[in-house]
């Protein structure tokens, strides 16, 4: 019933992660799993609970979907480069071979790095984590390509020619998709990307997709005078395992972004009864040093390092088993 070998593999992976970052003078931090506020993320559903105490006011708390909210406070407080292994929670997640509502995450922030610098660091990390029995892809250099290059290669769609929403919708229809008449540009893009790009990404190499389109609503950077998304995502054995952002250092830009995202979240959930977490009054105005943050799903990474295809093989108590009790 129990796969204790996977626990031995996990323990080895955690030790290797700590050795890797400790040897580079990163500070390991330990932050709360419960938070009274969250970063507004309309695409992530939250687990909500309530703190009850007869001596102080009761209030709602939330299980964190990532430790980002606390780690950025540490960065703003002068921590220097930091890392953390934490338990994270996302409600309304699918159950199956690659999803579990409770999951482990490695998050690390490197002061003085941008998102491109973090690619090399992450490649060094994965090579350090690989064992003799890990798939060969961990011993090879990453394939690095832009999202547009991947769209051209696998969906025969050059996004430079489809900056207009109507044109992209027409292209999606040509590809056999059925987007709504008023569907947003980024939703149409995701339809094409998930259908034609993700399934064709090579599995014999680790793939990093960079330069996400600026139309995907997020903090934007500028490259050659044009805005673009300062982010990359990493795929191992065809599965998304990590993402990275260059952290915004201008509190004014950050505050405007979070206000907009919170408005979107409220609009989506006001009639649904779903939790609407508050934003920390101090979080949007944090002065974060120039840095780059990477988040890696450790359950998925352990799957890949072990050559497995089902996340339940690396969890002692997968969520779908708990649902049956």
- The whole-number average pLDDT for the span 97-115 is 96
The pLDDT-based confidence of 273 (bands split at 50, 70, 90) is: confident
pLDDT exceeds 60 at position 245:
yes
Phi, psi dihedrals of residue 257, rounded to the nearest 5°: -60, -50
Give the CATH number for residue 46: 3.30.930.10
Instruction: Tally the domains of the chain.
Output: 2
- How many degrees, rounded to 5, is the angle at CA 42 between CA 302 and CA 37? 85
- For residue 158, is pLDDT > 60? yes
**Of 187, 213, 236, which residue sits at a domain end?**
236
pLDDT digits (tens, 9 = 90+) for 181-230: 999 998 999 999 999 999 999 999 999 999 888 776 544 444 444 444 57
Residues 231 and 245 in one domain: no
| Average pLDDT of the chain, as a whole number | 92
Same structural domain for residues 214 and 310? no
Statement to judge: residues 43 and 149 lie in one domain? no
Instruction: State whether 291 and 161 are in the same domain.
Output: no
55-68 pLDDT tens trace = 999 999 999 999 99
Domain C-terminal end among 204, 236, 268: 236
The last residue of a domain, from among 194, 216, 236: 236
3-state secondary structure of 200: helix
Q: How many CB atoms lie within 10 A of CB 96?
A: 12
Please indicate, yes or no, whether residues 122 and 219 belong to a single structural domain of this protein: no
Measured from the Cβ of residue 72, the count of other Cβ atoms closer than 10 Å reads: 21
Query: Do 152 and 261 reside in the same domain of the chain?
Result: no
Whether residues 86 and 6 share a domain: the answer is yes
The DSSP element (H or E) to which 124 belongs, if any, is: helix 115-129
Q: Which domain holds residue 310?
A: 1-135+241-325
């Amino acid at each position: 019933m129990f796969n204790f070998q996977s626990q031995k593999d996990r323990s080895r992976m955690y030790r290797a992660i700590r050795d890797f970052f400790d040897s580079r003078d990163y500070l390991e931090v330990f932050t709360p799993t419960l938070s009274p506020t969250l970063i507004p993320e309309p695409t992530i559903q939250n687990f909500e609970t309530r703190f009850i105490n007869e001596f102080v006011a009761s209030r709602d708390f939330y299980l964190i979907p990532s430790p980002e909210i606390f780690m950025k406070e540490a960065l703003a407080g002068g921590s220097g480069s930091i890392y953390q292994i934490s338990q994270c929670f996302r409600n309304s997640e699918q159950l199956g071979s690659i999803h579990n509502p409770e999951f482990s995450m490695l998050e690390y922030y490197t002061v003085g790095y941008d998102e491109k610098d973090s690619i090399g660091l992450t490649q060094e990390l994965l090579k350090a984590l690989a064992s003799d029995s890990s798939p060969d892809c961990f011993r090879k250099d990453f394939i690095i390509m832009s999202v547009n290059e991947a769209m051209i290669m696998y969906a025969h769609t050059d996004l430079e020619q489809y900056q207009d929403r109507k044109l992209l919708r027409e292209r999606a229809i040509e590809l056999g998709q059925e987007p709504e008449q008023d569907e947003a540009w980024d939703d149409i893009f995701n339809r094409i990307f998930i259908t034609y790009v993700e399934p064709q990404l090579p599995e014999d190499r680790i793939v990093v997709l960079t330069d996400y389109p600026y139309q995907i609503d997020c903090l934007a950077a500028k490259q050659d005078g044009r805005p673009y998304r300062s982010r990359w995502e990493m795929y191992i054995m065809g599965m998304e395992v990590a993402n990275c952002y260059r952290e915004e250092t201008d509190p004014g830009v950050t505050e405007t972004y979070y206000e907009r995202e919170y408005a979107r979240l409220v609009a989506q959930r006001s009639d649904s009864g779903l939790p609407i977490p508050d934003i920390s009054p101090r979080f949007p105005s944090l002065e974060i040093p120039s840095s780059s943050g990477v988040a890696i799903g450790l359950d998925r990474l352990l799957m890949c390092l072990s050559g497995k295809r089902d996340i339940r093989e690396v969890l002692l108590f997968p969520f779908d088993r708990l649902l049956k009790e």
